[in-house]
Chain A
Amino acid sequence: MASLKELKGRINSVKSTQKITKAKQMVAAAKLRKAQAAAEAARPYAARLAEVMASLAGKVSGDSAPKLLAGTGSDQRHLLVVVNTDKGLCGGLNSNIVKEAKAQARALIAAGKSVEFFLVGRKGRAPIRRDFADQIGGGFDTSTVRDPGFAEAEAIASELIAKFESGSFDVAHLIFAEFKSALAQDPLTQQLIPVPAPATASESGAVVEYEPGEEEILEELLPRYVKTQIFGALLEIAASEQGASMTAMDNATRNAGELIDKLTIQYNRSRQAAITTELVEIIAGAEAL
């Protein structure tokens, strides 16, 4: 049985933990709204770009298609771009993403392909290094900025495209968490390079004139599309982080509350027991006289 003083100390320590988790929960709730708004604001651009890409990719195909669309003709070397958060306190989000990444890597290795990782975000580095220390080919640090934005997406995309053009990998997949709701964020794997040929849009029948030419436009569009994909992943992960954090912190706050209640009951009981013992001793002493 813990002494009264020890119990009091534990209650106080759980109370201060609860204060922290409660604060973090409220911060996450406020940030979630912002992150969701940012994700929504990015949608029109992505949708338009995908539309245009679809209509162009249908026209430009075969030998004249740029490398980013057609691929290198082989699928031996895979690059997994894993996007994690920079901060913890968000439940199982990062471990779910890492689990997905490791599963993908194992499946590829089992199929006889070689795998390399490109890590974005701080929280994925340690767990992936533990299993695939030699396969980590590079990474991008997003912890230096508060909200990773389009500038970061641009930097990541240009690094990846440079790697692709120098021939260091054939296929790149993007692994991140898709934000469904504050309760659900699902890890998702998306093909990034070569750009998956979008479902050809139904032609409106109108003859579109291109300037300079279809191929030139497509060539300029593809890197942009990759950038947008990465930007989308960054936004999704930001929203997921806040959502997961909110849920995890809500649970933590509730658990702390339950623990405090339990400890308080225990504290009161042992205090009462001490008082009773003391009383019995006094009465017994008085009777003995």
Chain B
Amino acid sequence: MALHFELVTPEKLVRSEDVHMVVVPGTEGEFGVLEGHAPFMSTIRDGAVQVWKTEGGAPEEIQVRGGFAEVGDNGLTVLAEHVEG
């Protein structure tokens, strides 16, 4: 019952964890990804990726710049060129 979330930059693997939901700032609008999301790929704009560890909890924000997000069978992968914080 969890979404596998990976945040990768060229320098390192920043995050690899199971979370409840992630909201990604896509170029054509923000989208939330829950477990079992259909395969999907989108470029992202500069902004904050919001990570909900648990349902109803407070989101954690990670600033990312340049990259794209991919949702596959094995969860969500965000490839970002720069990550702040």
Residues of B within 8 A of A (CB): 6, 8-13, 26-28, 38-43, 66-68, 70, 72-73, 77, 79, 81
Contacts and interface: CB of A to CB of B under 8 A. Distances in A.
A209 to B, nearest CB: 5
B73 A45 contact: no
Nearest to B27: A212
22 contacts: A38-B11, A42-B10, A42-B11, A45-B8, A45-B10, A48-B8, A48-B77, A52-B41, A150-B9, A204-B72, A206-B72, A207-B38, A207-B39, A208-B40, A211-B27, A211-B40, A211-B41, A217-B41, A217-B42, A220-B43, A224-B67, A224-B81
Interface string A148-167: 01100110000000000000
A136 interface: no
Given A42-B10, A206-B73, 16 more contacts: A45-B9, A48-B70, A52-B68, A150-B81, A153-B10, A204-B73, A206-B39, A208-B41, A211-B41, A211-B42, A212-B28, A212-B43, A216-B43, A220-B68, A228-B10, A231-B10
A286 interface: no
A227 B66 CA distance: 12
Contact of A41 (B12, B38, B41, B68): B12
Contacts of A206: 38-39, 72-73
Interface of A: 38, 41-42, 44-46, 48-49, 52, 149-150, 153-154, 204, 206-212, 216-217, 220-221, 224, 227-228, 231
Q: Is the interface of B mostly helix, strand, loop or mixed?
A: strand
Contacts of A224: 66-67, 81
A143 B81 CA distance: 23
A227 B10 CA distance: 9
A213 to B, nearest CB: 10
B27 A149 contact: no
Contact of B39 (A49, A208, A216): A208
Contacts of A46: 10
Nearest to A43: B13
A14 to B, nearest CB: 42
Contacts of B9: 45, 150
Nearest to A228: B10
Nearest to A209: B40
B41 A48 contact: no
Given A217-B43, A220-B43, A220-B68, A211 B13 contact: no
A220 B66 CA distance: 10
A79 to B, nearest CB: 23
B59 to A, nearest CB: 22
Given A206-B39, A220-B68, A221-B68, A211 B10 contact: no
Nearest to B69: A211
* Residue among A204, A224, A227 facing the most chain B CB atoms (10 A cut-off): A224
A103 B67 CA distance: 37
Contacts of B10: 42, 45-46, 150, 153, 227-228, 231
Contact of B42 (A48, A154, A210, A227): A210
